[in-house]
Structure 1
């Protein structure tokens, strides 16, 4: 893993930049997210990617808690259709949550991502996800 710098931090997670490999990382923290924190994290992720001219990100969801109903609504109405400013196209690799309920919550949302300019690929292991991400152009 390349060295990283914290771009944004909150109780819900971190947005990190990996300048050597030219990708951003979203790392969820295990705390329950407060209303609006998911939107803030993903908005900051989009801003970092646009500022650096990158189109790849790693989402480390291992510690993620399940999405709330409001987060699911925001994710499908704002993030997936690209209403939140971000590069187009965008490639993401996701390390699945360890918590089963959170994993099911994420997989439910990711099934709605098909067909757009946002491409996700899921992994169980960090090494596999990074190898795929770094090799992707």
Structure 2
């Protein structure tokens, strides 16, 4: 039996789940399939609130099963959510487990390029173990 503290579920809806990890970061897991825009915005709004609540700056973003971002999702994340999460909620480091869907990977690459002027670092990974190592090394 492990004495490691358990992670706790912070929020969940049809688009994904947000976990609070005992090591001091959030885990955002996207569900497969198309997303409804209001549910998508709610999910990410809860991510920002959880960062502030815990005073954390790191997220492990699991996009492996994710569908591509829609143009509306892409625009909202680029122009509103990500700048707000960085400036008002302290989001600094995102370790991204890349999507299996090539179009989802491309939409994430577009987001990274469009927001590279923010005080924020994304790094992409194929596997979870190196993603966690990198995320926990960030200070």
TM-score relative to the length of structure 1: 0.90
Residue 100 of structure 2 is aligned to residue 98 of structure 1:
yes
Structure of higher CA gyration radius: 2
Tell me the distance in 2 between the aligned counterparts of 1:28 and 1:43: 14
Q: How far did 1:95 drift?
A: 0.8
Residue 14 of structure 2 is aligned to residue 11 of structure 1:
yes
Residue 89 of structure 2 is aligned to residue 87 of structure 1:
yes
SS of 1:17's equivalent?
A: strand
**What stretches of structure 2 of length at least 5 have no aligned partner?**
none
**What stretches of structure 1 of length at least 5 have no aligned partner?**
none
Compare the two structures and name the one with the higher helix fraction: 2
Q: RMSD value over aligned CA atoms?
A: 1.9
Q: Bigger shift: 55-64 or 79-88?
A: 79-88
Q: Bigger shift: 83-92 or 41-50?
A: 83-92
4+ residue stretches of structure 1 with deviation over 2 A?
Answer: 83-89
Partner of 2:56: 54
Tell me the distance in 2 between the aligned counterparts of 1:89 and 1:35: 22
Write the deviation string for residues 48-67 of structure 1: whole angstroms up to 9, x where unpaired.
Answer: 11001111111001011011
Matched-pair contact (CA < 8 Å) for 2:48–2:85: no
Relative to structure 1, the CA distance from residue 2 to residue 125 in structure 2 (aligned partners, 3 Å threshold; closer, same or farther) is: farther
TM-score relative to the length of structure 2: 0.89
Matched-pair contact (CA < 8 Å) for 2:86–2:118: no
